[in-house]
């Protein structure tokens, strides 16, 4: 994406490039109005305004960003106030938002858009970033095809409350390959992964107790009190192992919207707390750093942010 992006800019800077071709090359289209699409559009805007504007001042008037969303509005999981705030910020940043518009096709030099109540139109552009979701992998499709009665949803694998595939209880599925009521986010997949780790540990403990019980029963003789007591103790341990269903705990939603601004919705004391602006952006960065896996990664990312702030990208 970065290589294609810079190719467009450098090609537009060639002497003799027509006005029409400059407008096409410097028109960037982001497809998808969820948190990913919003963040990509915000980052592209920052790159254009903070870096390329100083490198290519003569091209700045031609630079244009468009965000396309098939639903009536962007950020469907956020509150109306934060959606309105994001749309105002994008308008101030000269990012065009086209809602209720479907992408019918993508060509090498253009994208085919179909607004809800208007005819299909071909819009010239230099770069299209797809942030509207992905199709399922072949292994997922093959698994679902083997169980057509239980796996009737084409969007993904149907699972039970213990994350087991319907029709095949020995197969577990988490994340975007499943079709559930949960949002397809890293937060959901992370909690599902942690839950499965606990589940597998309990299942392994239960299997070990079952094997122990089986060996005791096989070698047991009538009247052996010690064996009877040990058998009862193992059965009590097995009864204590409870495989609880998965329960998702929403920790809040965060999204960067460009221009050093972010939006956040956090559950605090049973209520949903909403915020947007520069202070939220600083909170977003601290939350981002806190979720990285190692101190080394945190230092590397923080260092990248500092270098970009002082020296540009």
The stretch 24-32 carries a mean pLDDT of 96
pLDDT at 270: 79
Q: Which residue has the higher pLDDT, 77 or 192?
A: 192
Regarding whether 143 and 127 lie in a shared domain, the answer is: no
Regarding whether 176 and 85 lie in a shared domain, the answer is: no
- Give a yes or no: residue 245 inside a domain: no
- Give a yes or no: residue 246 inside a domain: no
Among 25, 26, 19, residue whose Cα is nearest residue 63: 26
Q: Give the chain's mean pLDDT.
A: 92
Per the structure, the count of domains in the chain is 2
- Give a yes or no: residue 275 inside a domain: yes
pLDDT at 217: 78
The Cα 111–Cα 99 span in angstroms is 15
The rounded Cα 128 to chain-centroid distance in angstroms is: 19
Regarding whether 264 and 196 lie in a shared domain, the answer is: no
The stretch 53-57 carries a mean pLDDT of 89
Regarding whether 259 and 110 lie in a shared domain, the answer is: yes
Residue range 125-171, pLDDT digits in tens: 999 999 987 788 999 999 999 999 999 998 899 999 999 999 999 99
Regarding whether 120 and 10 lie in a shared domain, the answer is: yes
Q: Which residue has the higher pLDDT, 124 or 77?
A: 124
Element (H, E) at 101: strand 101-107
Q: Is the pLDDT of residue 91 over 60?
A: yes
Q: Is the pLDDT of residue 294 over 80?
A: yes
pTM above the 0.75 mark?
yes
Burial 103-142 (b: 16+ CB within 10 A, else e): beeeeeebbebeeeeeeeeeeebbbbbbbbeeebeeebee
CATH number, residue 47: 3.50.50.100
- Give a yes or no: residue 5 inside a domain: yes
Structural domain that includes position 153: 138-240
Confidence of residue 230 (pLDDT cuts 50, 70, 90): confident
Last residue of a domain, one of 198, 216, 240: 240
- Which tokens is 126 given? 């230099």
Regarding whether 259 and 174 lie in a shared domain, the answer is: no
Regarding whether 273 and 224 lie in a shared domain, the answer is: no
Last residue of a domain, one of 217, 240, 263: 240
- Give a yes or no: residue 64 inside a domain: yes
Regarding whether 97 and 114 lie in a shared domain, the answer is: yes
| Residue 160 Cα distances to 22, 30, 80, 165, angstroms | 53, 35, 32, 7
- Give a yes or no: residue 12 inside a domain: yes
pLDDT at 304: 94
- Which tokens is 155 given? 């969007």
């Amino acid at each position: 994406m970065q290589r294609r992006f810079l190719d467009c800019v450098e090609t537009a800077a060639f002497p003799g490039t027509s006005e029409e071709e400059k407008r096409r090359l410097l028109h960037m289209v982001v497809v998808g109005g969820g948190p990913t699409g919003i963040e990509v559009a915000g980052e592209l805007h920052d790159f254009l305004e903070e870096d390329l504007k100083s490198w290519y001042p003569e091209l700045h008037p031609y630079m244009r960003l468009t965000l396309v969303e098939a639903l009536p509005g962007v950020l469907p999981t956020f509150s109306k106030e934060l959606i309105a705030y994001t749309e105002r910020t994008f308008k101030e940043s000269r990012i065009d938002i086209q809602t209720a518009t479907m992408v019918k096709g993508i060509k090498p030099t253009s994208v085919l858009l179909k607004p809800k109540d208007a005819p299909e139109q071909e819009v010239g552009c230099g770069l299209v970033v797809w942030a509207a979701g992905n199709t399922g992998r072949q292994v997922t499709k093959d698994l679902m095809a083997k169980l057509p009665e239980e796996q009737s949803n084409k969007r993904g694998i149907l699972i039970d409350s213990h994350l087991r595939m319907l029709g095949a209880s020995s197969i577990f599925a988490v994340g975007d390959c499943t079709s559930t009521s949960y949002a397809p986010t890293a937060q959901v997949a992370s909690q599902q992964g942690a839950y499965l780790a606990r589940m597998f540990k309990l299942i392994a403990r239960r299997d070990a107790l079952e094997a122990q019980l089986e060996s005791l029963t096989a070698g047991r003789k009538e009247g052996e009190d010690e064996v009877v007591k040990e058998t009862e103790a193992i059965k009590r341990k097995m009864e204590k192992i409870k495989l609880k269903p998965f329960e998702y705990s929403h920790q809040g939603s965060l999204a960067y919207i460009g221009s050093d601004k972010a939006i956040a919705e956090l559950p605090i004391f049973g209520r949903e707390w909403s915020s947007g602006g520069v202070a939220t952006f600083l909170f977003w960065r601290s939350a981002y750093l806190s979720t990285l896996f190692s101190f080394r990664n945190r230092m590397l990312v923080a260092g990248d942010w500092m270098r970009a702030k002082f020296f540009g990208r």
